[in-house]
Structure 1
Amino acid sequence: MESLSVGLCHNKPKKSAATTIVPKDYICTQGDLALIDFVKEIPCEPRVEVVLIDDAFVERKSMECLFQPNAYIGDEVIDCYINLIKAQKHLKCRSGGHVHIENAFQFNFLKRDGDVEIKTEELYPIEDMTQICSVERRVLLYLDHDMVFIPINIRETHWYLAVIHAIWRYKCSIHLIKGLQRQIDMISQRKELKDHRWPDLQVASWPLREIDMGYAKQTDSSSCGLFLLNYIEYWTGDELSHSFTQDDMSHFRKKMAAILLSSDLNKRRDVEILENPTDSKKRKLLHVLHDSKVVYEDEEGPITQADLKKWFVDDWDKIAPIKVSNDGCTNDFLMVGLSTKDMPVTKADSIDVLCDYIMAIEDDTTLEYVLMPWKFNGCHALFVIDHVKKHVTFIDFTPTQDWCKHMTYKRFAEEIIMASKKYKIAYSKKRSGWAEDIFKWEHTIQTGVPIDLRGFNTRYLVLQAMAMWGNDRRMKFVGDAKIVRRNFVIDLLNYEDNSCRYAIPANIQQRLIDIAKKD
């Protein structure tokens, strides 16, 4: 990829105050398209980072939103481009004053802190100095700038920009101001806030201003993230330094992919394709197994691909149709229902699934803990919610990324916030008046678990963890991926409540049981 990036030159983000952005700067060149075509050849799985700019990264799968004309722009892409903007020194000082640009994640904390039903001492216990000091640093950072730009993401729905302007004394969003005001008040009680750029610290009382961007308005349903980034790049405090249109943004979607990939700041420019899925010979090897291929062998003899096809495809088709009961709420259904981050369902749907499961618990007063699988960045992780100790354990089987190695908790904070909201709503249906917030409970990231570098087998590792949790012994995972996958299929086929189990010939059932026992 690095060789394709050589010679590519882009004017965006603006390279200097004198740079004039014209329509062609939003349009891909032949060199841009060649680079994009190269990256498209990289499979979405296994997971490959193709962009790493400062502390923000984009994996190949997340890059797809820039290749699809109507896709919603993900926060990984937003943060990477924001880091490119922040790298331009001239964009830190504009006619409206000095600018601080937040990342796409910070809004979640400001919104949470704006909830008047939660006391400040509950959000920031006096013994938790790490959180308090983190807020103090951020408040002081804001006060040292004339303008603060905060991207707001209404998840999978809309992006827009909130601006706090100290010189003109206005704000452009009321949603996050309550949270910021609470943080300022908390820090001002701890230390005297002086020698700052703001006229006063009562930001909640500043007038709210809705800005008309003129021709730079979105007219489709999916370009809001692209408009957001250009507002951040061009807003001076009272106007846009450059005009742009919906047509420009339609072109900018792909252009941004080329800009991110080819940037000198991208530490992943040297990524290579290890297996080319468009190579017909390799594709055949990957997807077609010869009938004589032996997939398992023991003293009973070999099992070939042809045997599997005969047992579970050809012979299965000859069996009379079987009616499968869909009554009740099983743990399998719970797993599917809660792993919905990348599925087209609403928040209400997810809460309903969790609520149904909790309502099925016969005596909630004796509930000790809940094991809750969660789909996270294309892989699976596990929440262990301990009601007795008021403790949440997060079990993740993927490597810690560079951008959060100094603070591993940062990687999971958004997921815990999201899970806590759904859990609170669902559990309150079972126990009227239950007002606990698991986000406020103590959190631990489980150590000593296997790491799946490619992310292929995390769901199987989650199932192993669920089976072993609570036995008061150190968890021992099966590390061989082939054995894990094979045993998973065998367990499903042999499961006593499998309504289709009797349709499997008895001798094959026994063979499956014998195979499972060998491990």
Structure 2
Amino acid sequence: MNAYIYCLNDDKRLNIRAGGRAFLADTFAGPFLSYKGSNSEWIVTRAKQYHKHDMLFFPINIPHTHWYLCVINARLRTIQILDSLGPSNNDRLELKQTIRGLEHYLDMAAHDMGPQETKWKDYRVTTWPWSEEVKSAIQKDTGSCGLFTLKFMECWTGFALRPKFAQQDIDHFRLKLAVILVNSHLNKIKESPGSRSKEDDAKPDNLGEDQHVDIDSDGITPTL
């Protein structure tokens, strides 16, 4: 998921939307916010960046189960939830933990900032109302929640999905995603899927199941 999020962040057209300036967080942000530990200084530095945006997009994970999107909309002072399965019957504990941590670090960052440095008139996000933006389930399978979350991040304007999409669009997106990542200029080992160089043909094929490819903000690097 993070590979595509970094590609979205690289597209500057997605930074400014109808709802204002957007910050697209990776999947590590929520757990970091929920944990008040040794990385607090780094998180406060990141929170200062949050203050300069109108909307914060956080992928939220229900461990081993499901992904959905939370948008902290500072202009509307609303927590917007985009869940491909529609409104949830559980209490979204993982989201509550993220919001509590976010408020904590926004407050810490604000103490080091002047009033002119923040776009936020109110950062008591734990008091903001929640809004379920997807009124009924649009996911029709059991394995596309992460892909839906990525498209929510790409298409949510702050007020609506533009364009709207359905399960068949996500199925198509699944097929395109690998090509998008391989063709991205962030990819430092740029080759088309399935292609091999002459050097590759001269080497034993030792890419096993234990090797995979990770992409980060500096590009793609193989990880054993």
TM-score w.r.t. the length of structure 1 is 0.35
1:399-414 alignment runs, 5 A limit:
none
8 A Cα contact 2:34 2:97, kept in partner:
yes
Whether 1:258 and 2:166 are equivalent positions in the alignment is: no
Q: Contact 2:183/2:190 (CA < 8 Å) preserved in 1?
A: yes
- What does 1:366-405 correspond to in 2, within 5 Å? 378=210
Q: CA deviation at 1:378?
A: 4.2
Aligned match of 2:33: 110
Which structure's relative contact order is higher, taking Cα pairs within 8 Å and 6+ residues apart?
Answer: 2
Matches for 1:439-518 after TM superposition, within 5 Å: 455=224
Structure 1 residues 138, 276: CA separation in 2 closer, same or farther (over 3 Å shift)? Answer: same
> Pairwise mapping of residues 222-241 of structure 1 onto structure 2 (< 5 A)?
222-241=143-162
The aligned residue for residue 82 of structure 1 is 5
Does 2:41 align with 1:100? no
2:67 aligned residue (154, 159, 175): 159
Could you give the per-residue CA deviations for residues 247-271 of structure 1, whole angstroms, max 9, x where no partner exists?
1111211211111112233221148
Instruction: Select the structure that is richer in helix.
Output: 1
User: Does 1:186 pair with 2:94?
Assistant: no
Paired AA for residue 180 in structure 1: L
The residue aligned with 1:198 is 120
Q: Which runs of 4+ in 1 moved over 6 A?
A: none
d(CA) in 1 for partners of 2:75, 2:67: 25
**CA separation in 2, counterparts of 1:188 and 1:163?**
20
State the 1:132 CA deviation: 4.2
Contact 1:234-1:240 at 8 Å conserved across structures: yes
Matched, 1:208 2:208: no
Instruction: Classify 1:153/1:98 alpha carbon distance in 2 versus 1 (closer, same or farther; 3 Å).
Output: same
Does the C-alpha gap of structure 1 residues 137 and 252 become closer, same or farther in structure 2, counting only changes over 3 Å?
Answer: same
Structure 1: gaps of 5 or more residues: 1-77, 114-122, 125-130, 287-376, 380-400, 406-452, 456-519
2:142 aligned partner: 221
Q: Structure 1 or 2: larger strand share? A: 2
**Which one-letter code corresponds to 1:211 in the other structure?**
E
Structure 1 CA distance for aligned equivalents of residues 174 and 135 of structure 2: 20
Conserved? CA contact 1:143–1:198, under 8 Å: yes
- How far is the alpha carbon of 1:133 from its aligned partner? 3.3
Structure 2: 5+ residue runs without aligned partners? Answer: 81-94
Tell me how far apart the structure 2 counterparts of residues 205 and 246 of structure 1 sit (CA, whole Å): 34
CA–CA distance in 2 between the matches of 1:112 and 1:257? 32
C-alpha distance after superposition, 1:268-326 (max 9, x if no partner): 1148462599xxxx89xx9xxxxxxxxxxxxxxxxxxxxxxxxxxxxxxxxxxxxxxxx
Residues 2, 216 of structure 2: 8 Å contact kept: no
Q: How many percent identity over aligned positions?
A: 35
Write out aligned runs for 1:115-130 (5 A): 123=37
